[in-house]
Amino acid sequence: MDGFSLESVVRRALEEDVGPGDATTRAVVPEEAVATARIVAREPGVLAGSAAVREVFRQVDARTLVRALLPDGARFKRNTTLFQMEGPARAILTGERTALNFVQRLCGIATVTARLVERAGPQVRVVDTRKTTPGLRLLEKEAVRAGGGHNHRMGLYDAVMIKDNHILAAGGIRQAVLRARAAIPHTMTITVECESLAQVDEALEAGADILLLDNMDPPALAQAVRHVAGRAVTEASGGVTEETIAAVAATGVDLVSVGALTHSAPALDLSLEIESVRTAA
């Protein structure tokens, strides 16, 4: 889908920032100037977004060489150099903010994800949601994977998730699940949002594949997991934080979905620094 391609996302970001041209750089930087630069971390984190950085400078001026010094998913310390680049000084200065906007955002997501994954432990999968920045979903979900998390459905098109409003509109869980099963291919899963054990039973009887246990505290989650007894995949969702995820994971659920991975992750503090400028031979 073109709307989700890296090339198109970066192109729109550059159009938004650069428009018809970088007025400052054109006015003060000689066209023949060649620069070396680096992107450096001002705080520790996890790297994500290398492809976006490379694509920004490719589109601004393909003569700009960008080298990532670490792979996506790597942890780094404060003051670590993440990228080195060399090329037309105008191109590096023009692409600076767009590149940083991408990589700071994506490193922030990967870093938050890594912390939550570590606190949850290996017995459970930490997964994202559709609460992403419009137009950046694929990049943000890649950042979740870089942080050690897993992806939930990519959009409304690749899985069925029957939530409270769907249940109300369909006339009940059973009706919703049966209609969904008749309409979708056999390879597609059906998730039902459940707020009580009664809804868990109704979803199980209807043949749901995944039970989204919504806004249950750890004791209620543990009770629901025991009640399900492996008859469906269990997913805890709703208000999970770094402080609560260990207790949630300990209940025995299979998945913990956390919207905050993408909707609330703070951008990591990174900086682009020009190291040298020379005149092209």
Respond yes or no: is residue 163 known to be catalytic. yes
Q: Which amino acid is at 182?
A: A
Cα angle value 71/14/66 (rounded, 5°): 30
Query: Exposed, middle or buried: residue 103 (CB in 10 Å: 0-12, 13-18, 19+)?
Result: buried
Distance CA 157, CA 142 (A): 18
Q: Which one from 131, 153, 174, 179 is the annotated catalytic residue?
A: 131
User: What sign does the CA torsion over 208, 214, 220, 225 have?
Assistant: positive
Respond yes or no: is residue 193 known to be catalytic. yes
Q: Which one from 75, 97, 115, 130 is the annotated catalytic residue?
A: 97
Mapping DSSP to helix (H, G, I), strand (E, B) and coil, where does residue 222 land? helix
Count CB neighbours of 153 within 10 A. 17
Distance CA 230, CA 191 (A): 15
Q: Which one from 22, 55, 128, 193 is the annotated catalytic residue?
A: 193
Q: Which one from 67, 163, 226, 278 is the annotated catalytic residue?
A: 163
- Give how far Cα 255 sits from Cα of 31, 62, 75, 117, 196, Å: 54, 42, 24, 11, 18
Q: Which one from 55, 72, 214, 235 is the annotated catalytic residue?
A: 214
Respond yes or no: is residue 131 known to be catalytic. yes
Positions marked active-site: 97, 131, 163, 193, 214
